[in-house]
Amino acid sequence: MILRILTVGDVVGRAGLSHLQATLHAQKKALGVDLCIVNGENASEIKGICASDAQDLLYAGADIITLGNHAYSAPDIGNFLDDRSDIIIRPANFPAQNPGCGYTVTEVQGIRVLCVNMLGTVNLAPLDNPFLTMERILQAQKGNYDIVVLDMHAEATSEKYAMARAFDGKISVIFGTHTHVPTADLQILPGGTGYVTDLGMTGPEGGIIGAKTEPVLRMLRDHMPARFSVADGKVRAHAVLFSVDTDTCRTTAAKQLIF
């Protein structure tokens, strides 16, 4: 059987969330999607996601929400992460005592899919080693899953690609998030892992990676503090559809999408 997994890039603000509310269900139906994983890291006005926006994203068609370095930016998200850890996960290499969980197992068409969220440590927070954390999760969940999907939320291209090489053949799909720019390296690795360094974002194209231009320039050009806000302009979603053979656990096809 082929499992079709749609992975959607970082949702930026209400603009990105509203776009998915208007388009995602139709896209899932047209593509024959079995599982939809959406990174909601920036859904609440650039930093983090609040509980109500997370709920709206689920209603919009996300089956699993992944997060990143802004996982705890919204003050009310902790309880939601604890209560709904089956459908919203935060990076697994955050301290174990933090709210939420870094992975979940969901059953799709009788196939148990282990979904994992990980945060890179190159130019980001000095969390637990993501490679060793991933190994521990696979060992601890052995026998509880059929295929594995990983959202590697990281700054460095090299760290994302190293994760893919390290777990080629052990993880069916590895997609990168965080940088908001879709990369041109969508591929299937020798061991059968479908991989892309970054999905891109779901947000407005009128600024700089979803934020209005002037505050970003104030910070980068003038080295002055600036409050970011969501940009204007046409909103588009960047995504990748991975097709996984459930008998071999290998990705057989992968296609980048913009809608």
* C-alpha triplet 228, 202, 183: angle, nearest 5°: 100
Residue 223's Cβ-count burial label (10 Å; 0-12, 13-18, 19+) is: exposed
Q: How far apart are CA 203 and CA 40, in angstroms?
A: 11
Alpha helices in 84-188 (DSSP H): 130-140, 157-166
The active-site residue, picked from 19, 25, 70, 178, is 70
Nearest Cα neighbor of 189 from 126, 250, 125, 120 is 250
Q: How far apart are CA 220 and CA 26, in angstroms?
A: 39
* Residue 66 DSSP code: E
Gyration radius of the chain over CA positions? 17
Q: How far apart are CA 106 and CA 88, in angstroms?
A: 11
Determine whether 70 is an active site residue: yes
- Quick one: angle between helices 51-60 and 13-31, nearest 10? 30
Q: Which residue has the tokens 């929400």?
A: 65
> Amino acid identity of 94?
F
> Amino acid identity of 159?
E
* Residue 239 DSSP code: E
Q: List residues with catalytic annotation.
A: 70
